[in-house]
Amino acid sequence: MSQSEQTAEVNHHSVPAAKIALFQSLFRGRDAVYPRRFESRRTGKSGYMPACGNEWVRGVCDKPKLKCAACPHRRFVPVTDQAVRWHLSGQDQMGKDFVMGVYPMLLDETCFFLAADDRCEIFMPPEELPAGSSGGP
């Protein structure tokens, strides 16, 4: 079954497994680790960091004294159907907000993403774009 056939068959009545499979086929990246969104209750700062299976585990995780990048106990969490389910529902198994990201660059330096911005005309008419730019001469 082609991706377009698969897309046409998945809708709001589809079973969760079909929706998860479609999501994973469209948003592919590294599967051994994913970033999880965080927001600091103290500062309001937000961002993404690699999901860690040992985060905040008493006796293992030394946050906030030790940054995750320097932690010898860091254990990346792989992308799973369950993680995608949490992302699509917006909550993890504990009922906490859950937003996962994706690391699009694979270890072999390939990527399944394509980004295009067709709004350039809003900011610069095509005749003013440099040669070789999208929409340029």
- Model confidence over 96-135: pLDDT tens digits? 999 999 999 889 999 887 766 665 555 555 555 556 555 4
The pLDDT value recorded for residue 39 is 93
CA–CA gap between residue 96 and residue 94 (Å, rounded): 6
Please list the alpha-helical segments (H only) found in the chain: 3-9, 16-26, 81-89, 120-123
Cβ within 8 Å of residue 67, ≥6 positions away? none
Reply yes or no on whether the pLDDT at 18 is more than 90.
Answer: yes
The pLDDT value recorded for residue 136 is 39
Cβ within 8 Å of residue 4, ≥6 positions away? none
Cβ within 8 Å of residue 63, ≥6 positions away? 55, 56, 71
- Kindly list the domain boundaries of the chain, sorted by start residue: 3-105
Give the tokens for residue 38.
């965080």
| pLDDT tens by residue, 44-64 | 999 999 999 999 999 999 998
Is residue 24 helix, strand or coil?
A: helix
Cβ within 8 Å of residue 21, ≥6 positions away? 6
